[in-house]
Amino acid sequence: MGGIKKLRKKENLLVLGMFCLIIAFVLDMAGNGALLANFLSLIFVGIAIFSNAGYLVLTSFDKNKK
């Protein structure tokens, strides 16, 4: 049962990263140079980077355990 929780946590990190990239893309298209839209877009890209990095760390820990 513990392995399923870890798998779901890893999947949630990937979903969060993809969701944030989609939001950043939409904000970039809708913003058309607006400073606030650009700033929010960069924040969502940063969240996506960190969530995907967390996924990579969790995946590497699982590979090391096996």
Return the pLDDT at 2: 53
Return the pLDDT at 50: 94
d(CA 28, CA 59): 31
pLDDT tens sequence across 14-54: 889 999 999 999 988 888 778 888 899 999 999 999 999 99
Minimal CA–CA distance to 15: which of 52, 53, 61?
52
- DSSP annotation of 66 reads -
Structure tokens at 12: 């949630």
Instruction: State phi, psi for 32 to the nearest 5 degrees.
Output: 50, 50
